[in-house]
């Protein structure tokens, strides 16, 4: 397992350990000791997954304090373009974003700290995205920003969105009342 820093403070791309033989593939997505060596004290409180059609955009989601959480995201099947936006006003990378391709083929995952919005575009049909989070879901603290409000080119004209995701406010409007 190799843990690689990104340009956003606290966001890491993880090149997961994997082994392949005649039976198939084995992938390790989490190792507490490896995380602690990078000062990542991550405890999983909830785990869930989504299955997405090609060109679905999910996001940009986050929970606010006191239910904000860290996420560990990986894709065992299919491929996504993962997006992370820094919502922390005191961060040097406030309002900046990064994107990373995560797939069943490259076996990467990403760790996202508290105070960042997360979303992705599914690049293949039947893409499975797994989320491990450090707090339990609380609908009263669940928010999002519009996927097209922070300058990223998703390279798609008509994405498939949920009604909820289509109604999110812009990054600028969120920043006016930012609770982070």
The per-residue pLDDT for range 73-83, each reduced to its tens digit, is: 999 999 999 99
User: 3-state DSSP call for residue 140?
Assistant: helix
What is the CATH number for 40? 2.60.120.10
Strand partners, 8: none
Higher pLDDT, 178 or 128: 128
31 contacts 38 by C-beta, under 8 angstroms: no
8 contacts 96 by C-beta, under 8 angstroms: yes
Mean pLDDT (the chain, rounded): 96
Q: What confidence score (pLDDT) does residue 130 get?
A: 98
Backbone angles phi, psi at 126, to 5 degrees: 60, 35
* Residue bearing tokens 């392949």: 20
Domain span at residue 46? Answer: 2-176
| 6 CB neighbour count, 10 Å cutoff | 15
Per-residue model confidence as pLDDT tens digits over 117-144? 999 999 999 999 999 999 999 999 999 9
Does residue 180 have a pLDDT over 90?
no
- Number of structural domains the chain divides into: 1
Catalytic site positions: 61, 131
Q: What confidence score (pLDDT) does residue 127 get?
A: 98
Sheet containing strand 71-77, edge to edge, reads 2-5, 12-15, 108-112, 71-77, 127-133, 46-52
């Amino acid at each position: 397992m190799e843990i690689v820093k990104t340009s956003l403070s606290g966001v890491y791309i993880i090149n997961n350990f994997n082994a392949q033989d005649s039976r198939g593939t084995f992938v390790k997505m989490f190792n507490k000791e490896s995380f602690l060596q990078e000062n990542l004290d991550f405890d999983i409180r909830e785990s869930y997954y989504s299955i997405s059609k090609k060109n679905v955009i999910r996001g940009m989601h986050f929970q606010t304090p006191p239910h904000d959480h860290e996420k560990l995201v990986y894709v065992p099947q299919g491929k996504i373009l993962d997006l992370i936006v820094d919502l922390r006003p005191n961060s040097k990378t406030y309002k900046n974003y990064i994107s990373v391709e995560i797939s069943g083929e490259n076996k990467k995952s990403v760790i996202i700290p508290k105070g960042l919005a997360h979303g992705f575009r599914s690049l293949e049909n039947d893409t499975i995205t797994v989320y491990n989070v450090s707090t339990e879901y609380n609908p009263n603290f669940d928010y999002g920003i519009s996927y097209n409000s922070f300058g990223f080119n998703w390279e798609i004209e008509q994405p498939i969105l949920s009604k909820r995701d289509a109604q999110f406010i812009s990054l600028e409007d969120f920043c006016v009342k930012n609770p982070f």
